[in-house]
């Protein structure tokens, strides 16, 4: 099967360029670039006025399978990814059982191969059961196909355990993805600690809960030489700490989520549990610092932290609701509306943070659009706008604080390995 994408504008991070070209896809690979390409028996895709990108990669998603299939499955989560313009995602190990051994990694890979719409790269747990006590069988996880280690959702409180984990990960050349949260500081908190938490009478999670652990993990990465990736950066202080670490030449990278560069803690005032997320929505100063961090390269990656929850789990008092936002189906629209159309990022910079950069951190041969590369492509219509309607989500998680928002920039086609896995139907 051949696909010929005609008349699109290509954004190519590997060539650091944007240009008009047709793209021919054959046998699951990118075959030819050029203008006015013709090909018999090829399926023609009209990309006039559209942007053709390397398939987007989400470095941080929760697929919930095995164990929490009422919230999401590998099938539904990857369907949501395809609709959101993602061709690959890395999934976090906080499933049940936790992905702390090779059989869970194999299970995820098999399920993804059988019923997944996009490429799935599992992340293995750092510690057994993500309990933060003993290291998981890290080499075995790598061998089974894990691309990184993380205890995301939980922080490893014990510095000695994190230190050993980083030493071990460095030895086998794997990145560690840190969920930075001092759980004594954040204990029982439901939202950012500040003016609005006082006003609403909710227990707060101070910025320091994140920054204390960002500091610790940067120090440990410096000691061990570990490739440290800091998940979901939410505070101005964290952005500064990461900026300093990079200036010192440490192998530290970081990600921000669309909700953290868009929303503030003021959003919590209606007690809508879809605004409850960990780390919490912070202040306007924090949001602006995250945007600045994205702009100056301190923050390398935009990742969704897609955290779907079954509706009944979120339909409880704010204090009792689980943390998380269903993010795969709104990410592109938020990046385009909040960062590209505002001039904070160029289209090329935005695309780099969702393709080449996450691919480099995970060490996967994705995220570029060169001849011979896997034909994973995303086509977006930057001129189209659409209202967020959670009732139309294909994810099982409808927990979004963006319902009703008009977003510009709509994924219109997603191609994985030369096959169309999603096409926009209006």
Helix/strand/coil percentages in the chain, nearest 5: 35, 25, 40
Of residues 179 and 216, the one with the C-beta less far from ligand DOR: 179
- The token duo for 388 is 């967020």
Which one of Zn ion, ligand DOR, none interacts with residue 94, CB within 5 to 8 A by kind?
ligand DOR
| Cα distance between residue 416 and residue 357, in whole Å | 19
User: In whole angstroms, how close is the CB of 135 to Zn ion at the nearest point?
Assistant: 19
Which one of ligand DOR, Zn ion, none interacts with residue 323, CB within 5 to 8 A by kind?
ligand DOR
Tokens 């977006």 belong to which residue? 380
Of residues 126 and 277, the one with the C-beta less far from ligand DOR: 277
Of residues 307 and 345, the one with the C-beta less far from Zn ion: 307
Of residues 217 and 374, the one with the C-beta less far from ligand DOR: 217
- Sequence-distant (6+) residues with CB within 8 A of 202 are 189, 190, 191, 268, 318, 319
Q: Check if 296 is active-site.
A: no
Pick the closest to residue 192 from 234, 155, 156, 231 (CA basis): 234
Pick from 64, 154, 179, 366 the residue near Zn ion by CB under 5 A. 179
User: In whole angstroms, how close is the CB of 293 to ligand DOR at the nearest point?
Assistant: 19
Which one of Zn ion, ligand DOR, none interacts with residue 258, CB within 5 to 8 A by kind?
none
Which one of Zn ion, ligand DOR, none interacts with residue 62, CB within 5 to 8 A by kind?
ligand DOR
Selected catalytic residue, list 305, 374, 376, 381: 305
Pick from 22, 58, 100, 152 the residue near Zn ion by CB under 5 A. 152
The verdict on 182 binding Zn ion (CB under 5 A) reads: no
Yes or no: say if 366 and 53 are a contact pair by the CB < 8 Å rule: no
Q: Total number of residues binding Zn ion (CB under 5 A)?
A: 3
State the DSSP code for 337: I
Which one of ligand DOR, Zn ion, none interacts with residue 255, CB within 5 to 8 A by kind?
none
User: In whole angstroms, how close is the CB of 181 to ligand DOR at the nearest point?
Assistant: 8
Helix (H) / strand (E) containing 299 = none
Helix (H) / strand (E) containing 176 = strand 176-178
Pick the closest to residue 215 from 187, 250, 188 (CA basis): 250
DSSP tally for the chain: helices H, then strands E: 14, 18
Pick the closest to residue 360 from 54, 117, 68 (CA basis): 54
Instruction: List contacts with ligand DOR (CB under 6 A).
Output: 62, 94, 152-153, 179, 277-278, 305, 307, 322-324
User: In whole angstroms, how close is the CB of 310 to ligand DOR at the nearest point?
Assistant: 12
Q: Which of residues 195-234 bind Zn ion (CB under 5 A)?
A: 231
Q: Pick the piece of the chain touching Zn ion (CB under 5 A) from 109-117, 144-152, 235-243, 387-395.
A: 144-152
3-state SS, residue 163 = helix
- The token duo for 425 is 């139907």
Yes or no: say if 326 and 395 are a contact pair by the CB < 8 Å rule: yes
Q: Please, what is the angle between helix 284-296 and helix 236-247, to 10°?
A: 20
Contacting positions for Zn ion (CB under 5 A): 152, 179, 231
Task: Return the active site residues.
Answer: 305
């Amino acid at each position: 099967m051949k696909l010929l994408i005609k008349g699109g504008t290509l954004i190519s991070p590997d060539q650091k360029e944007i240009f008009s070209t047709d793209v021919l896809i054959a046998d699951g690979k990118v075959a030819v670039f050029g203008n006015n390409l013709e090909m018999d028996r090829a399926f023609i895709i009209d990309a006039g006025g559209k942007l053709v990108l390397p398939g987007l990669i989400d470095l941080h998603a929760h697929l919930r399978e095995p164990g929490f299939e009422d919230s999401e499955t590998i099938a539904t989560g990857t369907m949501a990814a395809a609709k959101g313009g993602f061709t690959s995602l890395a999934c976090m190990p906080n499933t049940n059982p936790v992905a702390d051994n090779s059989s869970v990694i194999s299970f995820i890979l098999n399920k993804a191969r059988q019923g997944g719409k996009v490429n799935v790269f599992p992340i293995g747990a750092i510690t057994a059961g993500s309990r933060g006590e003993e290291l998981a069988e890290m080499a075995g996880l790598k061998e089974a196909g894990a691309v990184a280690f993380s205890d995301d959702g939980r922080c490893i409180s014990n510095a000695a355990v994190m230190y050993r984990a980083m030493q071990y990960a460095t030895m086998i050349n794997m990145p560690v993805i840190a969920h930075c949260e001092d759980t004594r500081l954040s204990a029982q908190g439901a939202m950012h600690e500040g003016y609005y938490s006082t006003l609403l009478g909710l227990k707060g999670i101070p910025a320091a809960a994140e920054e204390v652990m960002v500091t610790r993990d940067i120090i440990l990465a410096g000691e061990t030489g570990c490739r440290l990736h800091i998940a979901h950066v939410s505070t101005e202080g964290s952005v500064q700490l990461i900026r300093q670490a990079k200036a010192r030449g440490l192998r530290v990278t970081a990600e921000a989520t669309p909700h953290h560069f868009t929303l503030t803690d003021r959003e919590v005032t209606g007690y809508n549990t879809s605004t409850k997320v960990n780390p919490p929505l912070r202040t306007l100063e924090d949001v602006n610092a995250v945007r600045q961090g994205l702009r100056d390269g301190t923050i390398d990656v935009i990742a969704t932290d897609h955290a779907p929850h079954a509706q009944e789990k979120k339909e409880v008092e704010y204090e009792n609701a689980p943390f998380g936002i269903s993010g795969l189906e709104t990410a592109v629209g938020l990046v385009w509306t909040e960062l590209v159309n505002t001039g904070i990022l160029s289209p090329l910079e935005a695309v780099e943070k969702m393709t080449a950069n996450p691919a480099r951190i995970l060490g996967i041969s994705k995220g570029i659009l060169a001849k011979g590369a896997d034909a994973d492509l995303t086509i977006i219509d930057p001129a189209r706008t659409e209202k967020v309607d959670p009732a139309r989500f294909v994810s099982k998680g409808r927990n979004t604080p963006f319902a009703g928002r008009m977003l510009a920039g709509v994924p219109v086609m997603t191609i994985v390995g030369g096959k169309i896995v999603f096409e926009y139907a209006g």
